Amino acid sequence: MTERKEEKVRFPLRLSRDTDSLVKAAMPRDNCHSQNEFIEKAIRFYTGHIAAKDGAAALSGQLVSVIHGTLDDSENRISRLLFKLAVELSLTMHVVAAGKGVGEIPLARLRGKCVEDVRKSIGSVNMEKIDEYQNGM
């Protein structure tokens, strides 16, 4: 089997002296035997670079979508945990405001009240209002 040579196309090219010097200096580092070989490799590299940038743009959209989904999940999880923490804080404030422990209000009922307090206040619990409630004002 004989190896077929790829048919080459003539391509007129004009380079500045600086660019020509760059090519000649870089050829040995890339094991190129001719300027033609070097320029052909450079063109393949650069067109690959352009194609990769196009692919990166598409990938960026997918990556942004995945990040948004992950952030939404994290935001929901954090919101639920903060809500539970606010309920526990409200519960603690009521117990402290009552002065002598929970007193007559069973802990389960108090937790339910605290859930409602947090829901109504959108997570912001006020010690003064709890003190007024506990002292019957």
Q: 83 lies in a domain?
A: yes
- Bigger pLDDT: 61 vs 51: 51
Q: 61 lies in a domain?
A: yes
Q: How many CA atoms lie within 13 A of 74 on its CB side?
A: 6
Helix axes 17-26, 35-98, angle to 10 degrees: 80
Q: 6 lies in a domain?
A: no
Mean pLDDT, residues 105-126 taken together: 76
Number of domains in the chain: 1
Instruction: Decide if 94 contacts 130 (C-beta within 8 A).
Output: yes
Q: 4 lies in a domain?
A: no
pLDDT tens-digit series, residues 16-47: 999 899 999 999 998 988 888 898 898 888 88
Q: 11 lies in a domain?
A: no
DSSP symbols for 18-31: HHHHHHHHHTGGGT
The CB-based long-range contact list for 111-114 (8 Å cut-off, 24+ gap) reads 111/87, 114/87, 114/88, 114/90
